[in-house]
Amino acid sequence: ETGVTQTPRHLVMGMTNKKSLKCEQHLGHNAMYWYKQSAKKPLELMFVYSLEERVENNSVPSRFSPECPNSSHLFLHLHTLQPEDSALYLCASSQEDRVGYGYTFGSGTRLTVV
Amino acid sequence: GDSVTQMEGPVTLSEEAFLTINCTYTATGYPSLFWYVQYPGEGLQLLLKATKADDKGSNKGFEATYRKETTSFHLEKGSVQVSDSAVYFCALRVLNDYKLSFGAGTTVTVRA
């Protein structure tokens, strides 16, 4: 399998639930990213991991907790979310020293908080 | 800081019409430029790219030329199809920076 794979594709969760989003890349990249895409809003960069270390956290609420156990896997742990957290969550990967290659994105997880 | 400005949508066209989506950028370094496309219910896919001035990126009938003098990277297609209906994002990335800076996206709808 190649590319960036995100699971699940769709998730409905209650505000008191705990769930995790998973992202896996098979491209040998050394950086991974979480983005949030809400309707009528620009893409929001949430977290950046480079060489498995978090290098950026753009003021994301603590109810979102990322984890990068190795260069191929990235998780987003969710707990006590709010309805406004409903969005498409996109994972991406890149090779940090290859500027001309951009990012490769997964298909996203459509999250609905009820 | 680095930023991308692209024309606001939505854009609605008839099949076989000519499409242009304007994109201009501001960058502190020498950027690589990208167009990504997002089809309904999907993630972003790289459509085309250019890494130096005067380069032309092309794919699926779309083209964009890296114009350093006007700091632009406009996307064009000569004859759109219904299947081109999507959201298009312009983006840039500068050397020694992991960050990819996106424009706000332009929604394109093509009617049969």
pLDDT, tens only, B48-63: 999 999 999 999 999 9
φ and ψ of B88, to 5 deg: -115, 130
- Name the residue of chain A whose CA is nearest to B91's CA: A102
Peptide bond between residue A42 and the one before it cis (omega within 30 degrees of 0): no
Q: Residue A80 carries which DSSP code? A: S
Looking at the predicted structure, is the pLDDT value of residue B28 above 90? no
User: Which residues 85-104 in chain B show a CB within 8 A of chain A?
Assistant: 89, 91, 93-100, 102-104
Least confident window among A7-16, A25-34, A90-99, B35-44: A90-99
Looking at the predicted structure, is the pLDDT value of residue A1 above 60? no
Looking at the predicted structure, is the pLDDT value of residue B17 above 60? yes
Q: Does A93 touch chain B (CB under 8 A)?
A: no
Nearest in space to A113 (alpha carbons), one of A2, A17, A35, A15: A15
Contacts of B47 (CB under 8 A, 6+ apart): B34, B35, B36, B37, B59, B60, B62, B75, B88
Check residue A51 and give its pLDDT.
80
On average, the pLDDT of chain B sits at: 94
Distance CA B57, CA B47 (A): 9
Query: Quick check: B98 and A31 CB within 8 A?
Result: yes
Residue with tokens 């290098």: A55
Q: From the CA of A80, how many Å to the nearest CA of chain B?
A: 25
Q: A20-39, pLDDT tens digit by residue?
A: 999 999 999 999 999 999 98
CA A58-A29-A64 angle, to 5 degrees, is 30
